[in-house]
Amino acid sequence: MLGRYQTPVGGWTHRTTYFWATTGATVGLSNLWTFPHLAGQNGGGVFILFYLACLLILTLPLMLTESIIGRGARHGAVLATDELAREAGQPTRWIWAGRLSVLAGFLVLSFYAVIGGICLAYVFYAAYGKLDGASPEQLAGLLTALVQQPENYRSFMGWHVFFLALVLVTSMQGVRYGLERALRFVMPTFILLLVALFAFGVRNGNVQGAVNFMLEMRPEEVTFDSVRMALTHAFYTLSLGTGVLIVFGAYSAPTTPLKRSVLAVALMDTLIAILAGLVIYTFVFANLPAGADPMQGFSLVFLALPESLATLPGGQFVTTAFFVTIVLAAWSSSIALLEPAVGWLQERVVSPRGWSVLLVGAAAWLLGLVSLLSFNAWSDISVLGGTPYRWIEMVTSTFLIPIVSVLLAFFVGWALPDELAYRLLGRGPGFVRHTWHWVIRLLLPAVILYIGIHYAIQSGASLCSDGGGPFWCHPPQAGEDLPHKDVPKLAPEADPAPEIEVPQGAPGPGQSDNSASEELSPEQVVPGPEESGSSRQANPGEVEHDGDPSGDDMLYHSV
């Protein structure tokens, strides 16, 4: 018979495991290549303060809500919502909030593992010296050959399988001996590597330029769009709406202080994002030509950074260590994303752990192939202006994650009796308990709906192309430049779209590969200042605000 604090699929033994596991889930790739650039281009330290305020208002109440659902029911998302609805005498259709959250986590895993495969490939590229002394053109050609050349898709598939296998092998060991041991080891190792890289950068890089770019207070650069971007990033970066926090709450030890742990996770995620940005830009600014525009996304991590590290003493070792750090972040997030679906399968059909992991992993691999091939062999396939990958990502980020978050807020805020909601929350000051309750009832649903609707409008606009696109695209006027499908070129106020761009000149997901064998210049791979909307070029210590960063990210929200 199960004890009070046991789930049918296991539980954690240490009170700090929830903190390390949730930190591993939330620290994703956007901490490395999205947040630092957002901060640098939108007021530096002022943007970070706005971001922390958004965490306090939006993210922390919702993180706590999801965690206490799992903790109270001691089940994954599906059975937890079902059990609590029955206890409250509510209709069982609330179970759909749990089902959609598991689906959202699974869909994110399917394309996140594709990105993890690219990061893993670069660990070996760096270790074997393929990045040493490479020119910008050679680095661009290497990335293009891996991701976008149709004739090389089998190599890309191999790295995808390799990365997913690492995730599945860990998960097959179980909740205690797999997840708990791995995440308690991976995250401290990840942080130590970042600290070591920063220490190396202090001696060999331009740390002052990085500090000025990210942390200097520049209130004149802050606009309403800056605040909106801080709010959007705070929502999408912390694994909300994917079922991860619910299942981790269910696994948490009875002595785990959830309120303090959630606050610690949010602060640690922010500190890691700041430290990662300082590490990256310390090296990049040491090699950045005067007046050049700091980059973001794939161009920053896979082009500018290897070029800068190659000029430093021990560059091959340092480059390898950096990409190992990226893989650890992607690996820990993928382990977390796999768990809601695996836990649901174990609880629903009483499937053995090993078979559950294999079934979910095989399904994620097959769906991941759709995303992978969208960048090369299937790059000519377009549905309403978007590749299959683009639609998978859009359905997840514009529909599933916001809808799940709103449903869970309504479920705890309105469907559950106040007494049951407060019992799930646990003891605490009355003011805090009442504030949390009204925030999830009124403020959270309104803010999340705003984020989801804005994101949907932006994503829909990114599908419009010259003379074509979905039915909602207006015909181009004379002299009007519309964005190419799947390569968004939005107005300055638009958020960066979460897509792969190994950009201009290389065949993108919506382009045919007519020159796959040609080497690309860095100008073709890295959008220039005129493409990102800058009114002038910037230097490491002084960056002109240009609205949002260019759409150079593979993923905007990264769990």
pLDDT in tens, 436-464: 999 999 999 999 999 999 988 888 888 87
> Does residue 2 have a pLDDT over 90?
no
3-state secondary structure 65-133: HHHHHHHHHCCCHHHHHHHHHHHCCCCHHHHHHHHHHHHHHHHHHHHHHHHHHHHHHHHHHHHCCCCCC
Q: Say how far apart CA 302 and CA 318 lie, in whole Å.
A: 14
The average pLDDT across 366-372 equals 95
Q: What is the pLDDT of residue 381?
A: 86
Q: What number is the average pLDDT over the span 127-140?
A: 89
Which whole number is the average pLDDT over 148-165?
Answer: 93
Closest CA to 524 of 540, 507, 509, 512: 507
Q: Which of 195-204, 254-263, 277-286, 538-547 comes out lowest in average pLDDT? A: 538-547
Sequence-ordered strand ranges (E) for 401-486: none
Q: Which has more pLDDT, 77 or 57? A: 77
Question: Looking at residue 391, what is its pLDDT?
Answer: 92
What does the domain layout of the chain look like in residue ranges?
Answer: 26-463
Q: Which residues, other chains included, contact 263 with Cβ-Cβ below 8 Å and sequence gap of 6+?
A: 60
Mean pLDDT of 501-515: 36
- Mean pLDDT, residues 3-8 taken together: 52
Q: What is the mean pLDDT of the chain?
A: 83
Nearest of 22, 84, 76 to residue 342 by alpha carbon: 76
- Count CA within 13 A, CB hemisphere, residue 302: 32
pLDDT at 253: 85
Q: What CATH number was assigned to the domain covering residues 26-463?
A: 1.10.4160
Encode pLDDT of 87-116 as tens digits.
999 999 999 999 999 999 999 999 999 999
pLDDT band at 367 (very low <50, low <70, confident <90, very high): very high
- Whether residue 536 is predicted with pLDDT greater than 60 in this model: the reply is no
**Which of the two residues, 487 and 156, has the higher pLDDT score?**
156
Q: What is the pTM of this model?
A: 0.84
Tell me the range of 290-294, 488-492, 510-514 where mean pLDDT is highest: 290-294
Burial of 7 (0-12, 13-18, 19+ CB in 10 A): buried
Backbone torsions φ then ψ of 237, nearest 5 degrees: -95, -5
Give the mean model confidence (pLDDT) for residues 529-539: 33
User: By mean pLDDT, which of 34-43, 67-76, 109-118, 525-534 is the weakest?
Assistant: 525-534
Structure tokens at 181: 């041991």
Give mean pLDDT, residues 174-201.
Answer: 94
Q: Which residue has the higher pLDDT, 333 or 549?
A: 333
Residue 129: exposure state from Cβ atoms within 10 A (0-12, 13-18, ≥19):
middle
